[in-house]
Amino acid sequence: MSQTGTLVLIMAIAAVAPLLAHAVGRWLPVPLVIFEIALGILVGPDVLGWAGKGETVDTLAHLGLAMLIFLAGYEIEFDRVRGDTLRRSAAAWLIALAVGLGLATLISGFDRGVYLGTALTSTALGTVLPLLRDAGRLRTRFGAVMMSFGALGEFGPIIAITLLLSGRSPGRSTIVLGVFALLTALVVWWATRPRSAWFTRVVETTLHTSGQFAVRLVVLLLALMLGLAEELGLDTLLGAFAAGVITRLVLHGSAPRSAEWVMRKVEAMGFGFLVPVFYVVTGIEFDLAALLSGGRPLLLLPVFLGLFLVVRGVPVYTLAPPDLDRDDRGALTLFASTALPLVVAITAIGTDAGTLPTSEAAALVGAAMLSVLLFPLCALRLRGTRPPQWQTSKEPETW
């Protein structure tokens, strides 16, 4: 199938997936992403063979992943992520990294273990936070703790990718990372400077016109940070996360009355187009044949699913703030152990480098898909919260 035909098929899946999620959600609330990936697998080379890889589709999928990480970075409220909770979050992630690298090395050797171990420490913050928001829990104490632990689970693996998987020496990688941090700090300084009245006025007057100045500025910031990361030889996901943080500072500092409306439009662009492309392409490129061939890959799938809980979940449960009760600790553990976007990105780096076999990558991605399906649902039930209808549209909270 041509690239245009593949793109049409992907967008058809993106439109059908919410309908299926709505129908199934009457009996079992299944995250929308599961339908997007499953339908991608269905039309991919290992089942129907209707869609395959291509430069255009791959580019859009990479943009979709960048947008997902960008939106996760934007959700972080640093006035709520600080102090003892932040220290506990950092300690939990560092312990998870050490345990993950150790266990993954035992399973697959050091070269592969670096990729697998790093992926096991990730948290799908961009998936979890919308669930908490839909359930009305994002603005609670539990939401603040989850935001802190999830931020480290999103940001930490990106830093680890830079230091461990860049192909440079650790010393040189640290220097490059320091340069990026310095340049990002300059952008943050610019973002926090007081804006003239004309800036706020232009944002407000073009918000509902074809001008869309604020939306275009957000896209520009994202492109600039992606470009900066790429020029420095860093993973572009680091730039995407930084762009989300900077965007929050710019909008809430200079146009607080319009920030929510601007991000509604950006989220519509992300979740309406780019992010579904990423998830569907993840399904298309999923090596189902290698997984179903039996043997080691199939056995590794439940092992990896358990390791998400052991590597990421146990340190989170142990170091959770003492004011959380047992049920909240359990829910925090399950949410923090939910992973997918960075797992896909890290395994793709490993397979592209020729280090990680596609069969092991498929087992790890499959386990991550199961984590998205099972862990959030169990966490919400554990907290006595009715699982939100992921596929149902809902007005964002007023910030």
Segment 17-40, tens digit of pLDDT: 999 988 987 887 788 888 999 999
Give, to the nearest 10 degrees, the angle between helix 296-307 and helix 358-382: 40
What tens digit of pLDDT does each residue of 34-66 get?
A: 899 999 999 999 899 998 878 889 999 999 999
Check residue 385 and give its pLDDT. 54
Please write the tens of the pLDDT for every residue from 238-269.
Answer: 899 999 989 998 888 888 888 889 999 999 99
DSSP 303-348: HHHHHIIIIIIHHHHHHS-TTS-HHHHHHHHHHHT---HHHHHHHH
Per-residue pLDDT tens over the stretch 81-106? 778 888 999 999 999 999 999 999 99
The CATH code that applies to domain 3-382 is 1.20.1530.20
- Cβ contact 290:297 at 8 Å: yes
293 versus 248: the higher-pLDDT residue is 248
Candidate from 142-146, 159-163, 272-276 with smallest mean pLDDT: 159-163
Residue 66's pLDDT is 92
What mean pLDDT value characterizes the chain?
86
How would you class 210 by CB atoms within 10 Å of its CB: exposed for 0-12, middle for 13-18, buried for 19 or more? exposed
- If pLDDT is split at 50, 70 and 90, which confidence band does 289 have? confident
Run of H or E residues at 365:
helix 358-382
Which residue has better confidence, 21 or 170? 21
Inform me whether the pLDDT recorded for 392 exceeds 80.
no
Q: Is 29 helix (H, G, I), strand (E, B) or coil?
A: coil
Q: What is the pTM of this model?
A: 0.85
| Residue 301 confidence (pLDDT) | 94
Name which residue leads in pLDDT, 194 or 16: 16
Residue 380 has pLDDT above 90, yes or no: no
SS (H, E, C) 238-302: HHHHHHHHHHHHHHHHHCHHHHHHHHHHHHHHHHHHHHHHHHHHHHHCCCHHHHHCCCHHHHHHH
Do 33 and 87 touch, CB atoms closer than 8 A?
no
Look at residue 394 and tell me whether its pLDDT is greater than 50. no
Residue 391 has pLDDT above 70, yes or no: no
Tell me how far apart the alpha carbons of residues 47 and 34 are, in angstroms, rounded to a whole number.
Answer: 17
> Vertex 63, ends 61 and 64: CA angle to 5°?
60
- Domain edges within the chain: 3-382
